[in-house]
Amino acid sequence: MTSQFPHLIDLNDHPVTWWNGLLSLGQEIMQNPMLYANSCRGKIMGTLFYEPSTRTQMSFQTAMLRLGGTIIGFDNPQTSSVAKGENLKDTTKIVSGYSDVLVIRHPTVGAAKAAALTAECPVINAGDGGHLHPTQTLTDLLTLKCEKGTLSGLTIGLCGDLLNGRTVHSLCKAMSCYPNNHFIMISTKELAMPHYIKSIIHANGCTYEETFSLEEAIPKLDMLYMTRIQRERFASDEEYFAQKDTYILTPQKMKLAKKDMIVLHPLPRVDEIEIAVDDDPRALYFKQAKYGMYVRMALILTMLQSTATTELLSGTVHKGVCCPNPKCITNQEYYLPKSFTGTGTTLVCEYCDERLLLEH
Ligand code: ASP
Ligand code: CP
């Protein structure tokens, strides 16, 4: 199914040249913001945040306001007619009809793609469950480009909740498209990076290793990407507390790192980076959040100017076959076509990337 609008559901739906164009435009806007102050005059951005957010929501909103546009939306679905039981399709259909671009964050995997299927304007994925967060990745790429001067040949440490952290999934998918990057995944066994992300890194020609030890990994890194243990994605508090506080970045650990290693974090921080680390000039997470506003300005502008179409579903609906992932949007919004790519006995859900083995 091809939509008549350009959407950003997964960065990898677009070529690397498109990402690079956004980064260059983001830099250009950062240097000359006043040149863009009226670029979106008369345009309206809708923001549907079904999940809490500070940075993504407010950086999108300020991005649009700084471009001369205006904003509508909700930051709590309980104050909208979602509380009366309205489904995702109807809410999206209505608000996209009021807007020129729609930004959506949702706790359910695949929700942004599902919204784009019937939206009447471009849709931007601002995070879908523990799956993807493409605009955080654009933020991270712009930070790396400006602060390290390159997106290639880097040793990238990813630490914390690699299983549920949508930021690290999107980041690995994107950074493995640039040559010679090496990933060191630092986590417990329970919160290890999903296999499908590791397969993508490998297929893209990059390398990775997995370790439990932050102390052992840190001296090798050009960039350390810390993440929060995603409490809201755990089935029980018991499982969460078993993982909490496994990794805490301290000034002592920073002493083991290279002089030019940078520390990024998508934020919010809970307690995985001690406050004292903030004073280290290598701690760039607050600056990173600001880069996010400029790259989102570039993204909004690009989406509003583009006449591109987007292929959203290219697979097949198999009679009686459902996605086995209970967190997939197709298991919450039953009207959605249950579309899978893949051949033979292995199918891949087009909304959540879950693998399914067909029995014959
Ligand atoms: N803010 C990021 C996200 O929404 C990371 C986090 O919440 O820990 O995915
Ligand atoms: N980085 C990020 O997505 O932050 P918020 O959850 O506060 O939007």
pLDDT of 317 > 90? The answer is yes
Q: What is the pLDDT of residue 163?
A: 97
Average of pLDDT values for 296-321? 95
Shortest-distance Cα residue to atom 1 of ligand 2: 266
Q: pLDDT tens across 262-285, in order?
A: 999 999 999 999 999 999 999 999
Write the CA distances from 190 to 211, 235, 272, integer angstroms.
12, 13, 17
Question: To which H or E segment does residue 155 belong?
Answer: strand 155-159
Q: Which listed residue (105, 145, 166, 182) is catalytic?
A: 105
Residue 124's CB is within 10 A of a number of other CB atoms, namely 25
Q: pLDDT tens across 151-164, in order?
A: 999 999 999 999 99
Cα-atom radius of gyration of the chain, to the nearest Å?
20
Q: For each of the domains in the chain, give its residue range(s) and CATH number, in order of start.
A: 2-133+290-311 (3.40.50.1370), 134-289 (3.40.50.1370), 316-357 (no CATH)
Tokens at 165, concatenated: 């952290």
Q: Which listed residue (84, 195, 319, 360) is catalytic?
A: 84
Q: Which ligand is nearest to the CA of 136?
A: 2
Q: pLDDT tens across 12-68, in order?
A: 999 999 999 999 999 999 999 999 999 999 999 999 999 999 999 999 999 999 999
pLDDT of 343 > 90? The answer is no
Shortest-distance Cα residue to atom 6 of ligand 2: 53
Residue type present at position 42: G
Q: What is the pLDDT of residue 360?
A: 64
**Pocket perturbation via mutation, ligand 1, pick of 167, 225, 264, 271 by most ligand atoms within 8 A of CB:** 167
3-class secondary-structure state, position 177: coil
Active-site residue, 105 included: yes
pLDDT of 120 > 90? The answer is yes
- Burial of 247 per CB tally in 10 Å (0-12, 13-18, 19+): buried
Q: What is the pLDDT of residue 42?
A: 98
Indicate the average pLDDT of the chain. 97
- Asked if 108 and 129 count as a contact pair (C-beta separation under 8 A), the reply is yes
Shortest-distance Cα residue to atom 8 of ligand 1: 228
Shortest-distance Cα residue to atom 4 of ligand 1: 127
Q: pLDDT tens across 185-229, in order?
A: 999 999 999 999 999 999 999 999 999 999 999 999 999 999 999
Average of pLDDT values for 294-306? 97
Ligand 2 center to residue 245 CA distance, Å?
20
Active-site residue, 84 included: yes
- Asked if 345 and 127 count as a contact pair (C-beta separation under 8 A), the reply is no
User: Is the bond preceding 219 in cis, omega lying within 30 degrees of 0?
Assistant: no
Average of pLDDT values for 1-19? 96
